Amino acid sequence: MSVLPTLGTLFRPSQLFSFKGVHPDPRKYLSSESEIETMPIPTLIRLPLQQHIGAEAEPVVQRDDYVLKGQLIAKARGPVSANIHAPTSGRVIAVGHFTAPHPSGLPVPTITIRPDGEDTWGPHLPRIRPENATPEEIAAQVAEAGIVGMGGATFPSAVKLNLRAKYDLHTLVINGAECEPYLTCDDRLMRERAEEIADGIGIMGRALGVKQIIVAIESNKPQAIDAMSRYNRALDYTFQVKVVPTQYPMGSEKHLVRLLTGKETPARALTADLGVVVHNVATAHAVHNAVRYGEPLITRIVTVSGRGIKRPANVKVLLGTPVSEVIAHCGGFVEEPDRLLLGGPMMGQPIANRRVPIVKGSNGILALTRAETPGNEVMPCIRCGRCVQGCPVGLTPFEMNARIQADDLDGAAKIGLMDCLTCGCCSYNCPANISLVQTFHFAKGKLAEKQSRKHQAEETKRLAAARQAREEAIAEAKRQAMAKRKAEMDAKKKADAAKAAAAAATAATAQGEANP
């Protein structure tokens, strides 16, 4: 390592004035030339019920049930959720809790299946012909197949395909940027399955009813660009393949849209407000499989890389496969890794338990050696401004950090904490190695908690007030009813008395008449 940057960054004139975004060492060569290989069926499959953004899926199988490949085992709950299917045939041995593929390592509801090795398909979803299908039918099929954003965000794709009901959409952007270092799963997918991806893109375009489709690929993937340019037609669409600069975070939805369309998505709005929807290439591939062949989302391609891995590869694995088995499939470790990650090195999550499963959003397993990871010596901030120069959102991370450290969360929020993408550019750049992103995660969580506390307090107050009002109303009603009743009673009594008096009088008269 040297003080000098690489030659490539040296001669970029714009960078002499401003260094927006960062250029981490891509290190994609480790796995970029390995063809996608299919991993054999693992010994155990563990499927967390929450592999997506939104509500947890609801299990529809029980312990000891025999499930077939592709069978629905947990169904979506509520409008933003996703179905989960059995990746292979076998027996459900538990519907309980297992460690989440997340740094917390907390147990989450999980269905565990012991594969029988037969890999027997159950009934497929009904195939549909996208040429004749309505957008609603396509979206329903995608929802049925349990497809979520495969780039890592895991937002249920069907919800995004249904945006046409609310927004005036004109452009579909297919995100093949894959800006995270090391990861090559999308690159390989585009090189090897371009035709299938193209079909999936066409299907999504039809479902969204857009006018144009742009496929954005970073300039460091020339073969993928070639492949996608060859297969650039599907259904009625001819799409543009646009080469975007290799820069992190190019794959960030709003930044990609700004680069491609020149329009900036307003804060707190969606790209759909500009008429643009962004989907990942792997999602397009999954949509193709679901619509053309009726296959639910039960596999995904995972990049297994890092210098700690003996044989870096791109592996097609069944969802739910334990990370340890994928690593074993790739020859195990060269040396004990310093960090084991799910995802890329910029935003990936470290995992402590190696038996956690691959889920829908896992795009990589990285075993990073000590030489690849930052040291843990932290220096004070020297206000060099590299975090500011690198921040793709235009925040001042060093200042936010200072405010958070001083326990001034509201002050940090005022200068844009909530706009932070937690992309990691600031921490990557920081010469003092301050864990800025971690601080921002913490502060965001704290603020959310505070907000929810406040909301809760307000809600309690509101409910208490409502209850008091209700009770008063009831008491008032009671009082009125009592008063009314009393009035009635009085009236009745009076009437009775009058009647009795009248009767007595009559009787007396009668008596008087009778006894003259």
**Residues between 420 and 479 that touch other proteins (CB under 8 A):** 422, 424, 427-429, 431-433, 435, 437-438, 441
In order of 197, 340, 465, 493, 506, the CA distances from 184 in angstroms are 16, 17, 58, 94, 110
Which residue's CB is nearer to other proteins, number 67 or number 291?
291
Find the binder of other proteins among 46, 52, 160, 164 (CB under 8 A).
164
Residues 346-375 that bind other proteins (CB under 8 A): 346-350, 352, 366, 368, 372-374
Q: Is 425 annotated in some ligand binding site?
A: no
Q: Are 24 and 346 a contacting pair, CB within 8 Å?
A: yes
- Give the nearest distance from C-beta 95 to other proteins in angstroms: 28
> How many of the chain's residues bind other proteins (CB under 8 A)?
93
> Buried (b) or exposed (e) across 483-507, using 16+ Cβ within 10 A?
eeeeeeeeeeeeeeeeeeeeeeeee
End-to-end CA distance of the chain: 138
DSSP conformation letters of 127-196 = P--TTT--HHHHHHHHHHTT-B-TTTT--BHHHHHGGGGTS---EEEEEE---SSS--HHHHHHHHSHHH
Which residue's CB is nearer to other proteins, number 255 or number 279?
255
Q: Does 167 bind other proteins (CB under 8 A)?
A: yes
Strand residue runs (E) in 334-424: 339-342, 349-350, 364-368
Find the binder of other proteins among 96, 107, 117, 209 (CB under 8 A).
209
Residues 253-292 that bind other proteins (CB under 8 A): 254-255, 263-269, 273-275
Which residue's CB is nearer to other proteins, number 382 or number 463?
382
Q: Is 179 annotated in some ligand binding site?
A: no
**Which residues, in sequence order, are CB contacts of 298 under 8 Å at separation 6+?**
69, 70, 85, 86, 87, 88, 318, 319
Q: How far is CA 463 from the centre of its chain?
A: 33
Residues 214-243 that bind other proteins (CB under 8 A): none
Find the binder of other proteins among 8, 123, 394, 516 (CB under 8 A).
394
Find, among 221, 153, 183, the residue nearest to 303 by Cα. 183
Both tokens assigned to 486? 């009393």
- Give the nearest distance from C-beta 160 to other proteins in angstroms: 15
Find the binder of other proteins among 380, 513, 514, 515 (CB under 8 A).
380
d(CA 260, CA 173): 9
Q: Point out which span in 227-235, 323-331, 338-346, 490-498 binds other proteins (CB under 8 A).
A: 338-346
Which residue's CB is nearer to other proteins, number 223 or number 396?
396
Q: Are 436 and 399 a contacting pair, CB within 8 Å?
A: no
Both tokens assigned to 170? 């004109």
Which residue's CB is nearer to other proteins, number 248 or number 299?
248
- Give the nearest distance from C-beta 314 to other proteins in angstroms: 20
Q: Is 426 annotated in some ligand binding site?
A: yes
Residue 217 φ/ψ, nearest 5 degrees: -130, 140
- Give the nearest distance from C-beta 27 to other proteins in angstroms: 8
- Give the nearest distance from C-beta 203 to other proteins in angstroms: 13
Q: Point out which span in 54-62, 206-214, 311-319, 483-491 binds other proteins (CB under 8 A).
A: 206-214
Find, among 373, 476, 388, the residue nearest to 426 by Cα. 388
Residues 69-108 that bind other proteins (CB under 8 A): 103
**Which residues, in sequence order, are CB contacts of 260 under 8 Å at separation 6+?**
173, 214, 216, 242, 244
Q: Is 185 annotated in some ligand binding site?
A: no
Find the binder of other proteins among 14, 62, 132, 376 (CB under 8 A).
376
Residues 128-147 that bind other proteins (CB under 8 A): 135
- Give the nearest distance from C-beta 101 to other proteins in angstroms: 15
Q: What is the DSSP letter of 14?
A: G
**35 SS3 class:** coil
- Give the nearest distance from C-beta 11 to other proteins in angstroms: 9
Find the binder of other proteins among 143, 284, 340, 443 (CB under 8 A).
340
Q: Does 416 bind other proteins (CB under 8 A)?
A: yes
Q: Does 246 bind other proteins (CB under 8 A)?
A: no
d(CA 20, CA 153): 23
Both tokens assigned to 227? 């492949």
Q: Is 391 annotated in some ligand binding site?
A: yes
- Give the nearest distance from C-beta 258 to other proteins in angstroms: 8
- Give the nearest distance from C-beta 230 to other proteins in angstroms: 24
**340 SS3 class:** strand
**Which residues, in sequence order, are CB contacts of 215 under 8 Å at separation 6+?**
173, 174, 176, 201, 228, 232, 239, 240, 241, 242, 281
Q: Is 423 annotated in some ligand binding site?
A: yes
Annotated binding site for [4Fe-4S] cluster: 381, 384, 387, 391, 420, 423, 426, 430
